A = this chain, B = another copy of it.
């Protein structure tokens, strides 16, 4: 019996549709962080929805497992083959098809790169409010399939909230076209919701209609120091009420700031003294608007209420950048100093102080490991960085990953948090899925998977495991 990829190649016929030279296919088998790698016998590269449909119909008929791939910038190993699956890449579906001015919606193929879409929209006075570090290579289809978040979730939500219409090809090749541009459309089941965030396990996203937003014209940015991390939850509550257009509310733990300062004496913290916690507060506003007074009054009231000890407002773009450096520097510091195990988790905002304390205590139990802690206060998303200290061998540090993951995900579970805030489950976290979801939820996921992909050809092993 021939191998699955050989059956598919024979059926496809036209060599313009695929790559099969190992030199060409190898890059599709490695994720960008170099953590996941698999053999890739065949990469199919359709140029249209009709071609995706024909490929999937053949895969179902011939029992060929497929890994859908867009920008391949995921963090959890969900877009590279594990067992010689065929890769279905949407990279040649890169057309921005239409822009509707009145509704500010844009229709794109799944292979459009985020940065290209951002440029297209900027020329029209608009913006795509989901923005990520990987903007130069991540593609819209993958962002929808993983329900990407990013730095503006607090104000605009995830990809799910930006998707107005979606076209999906099912495992059997059926094209389900729901490319409407409407904000209000309660006509039966909202099918697109089933596929958003399904990590390529229920269908292949081929096109989408996305809601753009007016490009923000100006920002108000401040850095505030808190006496203690215990004040983070009441600060969040107060900020939500006092800054109606809050676009960012980020925190960095006091011990993390001290660590970064020590490691990088050049870093200027634009706030005197030492504080238990630091918070970056940013609001969007209209150009030329007299927004500064209201923003300053909001900070003043936080001071009066004893929620913050001190604050500085950026008076220029350079000062705003210096404030944001405080939030971004820890990531750079840990990567410069050694290896890091990174955990992207959410806990209810009210338990952030307790959780941060637990992470410190936990790191104390792993000699040579330091907890570097920061994240998005606005939505409870904590980036737990367990960083290698000088003196601990790389191999020893690497060997700690599973124990760290067990302990951290266990603590998250204890707080009814999420073991994956933004990155999804992929293959990396599937062993921990029972910590995040109940047996009934997992059974229901299997029911949906069986109904939509009865042969299990789509991204096998992702989310639910083998």
Residues of A within 8 A of B (CB): 100-104, 125, 146-147, 149, 153-154, 157-158, 160-161, 170, 174-178, 180-191, 193-194, 196-198, 202, 214, 233-234, 236-237, 240-242, 244-245, 284-286, 289-290, 293-294, 346, 348-350, 376, 378-381, 416-425, 429, 433, 436-438, 440-445, 447-448, 450-452, 463-464
Contact = CB atoms under 8 A, between A and B. Distances in A.
Contacts of A349: 102-103
Q: How many copies does the complex hold?
A: 2
A104 B174 CA distance: 42
Nearest to A284: B244
Contacts of A381: 183-184
A125 B234 CA distance: 14
* Nearest 10 pairs of A and B residues by beta carbon: A102-B350, A193-B193, A451-B451, A183-B379, A102-B233, A187-B436, A185-B418, A184-B421, A102-B349, A214-B241
A235 to B, nearest CB: 10
18 contacts: A102-B233, A103-B380, A125-B241, A147-B186, A149-B186, A176-B444, A177-B440, A185-B346, A185-B436, A186-B423, A188-B463, A188-B464, A190-B197, A191-B444, A290-B293, A290-B294, A450-B451, A451-B451
Contacts of A294: 286, 289-290
Contact of A186 (B237, B289, B424, B438): B424
Contacts of A438: 176-178
Contact of A146 (B186, B286, B376, B452): B186
Contact of A187 (B350, B420, B444, B448): B420
Given A214-B240, A294-B290, A348 B191 contact: no
Contacts of A196: 190, 193
Given A178-B437, A187-B437, 20 more contacts: A100-B348, A102-B349, A147-B186, A153-B184, A154-B183, A161-B161, A177-B438, A180-B416, A181-B348, A182-B346, A182-B418, A184-B376, A186-B423, A187-B419, A188-B464, A189-B198, A189-B202, A189-B445, A193-B193, A214-B241
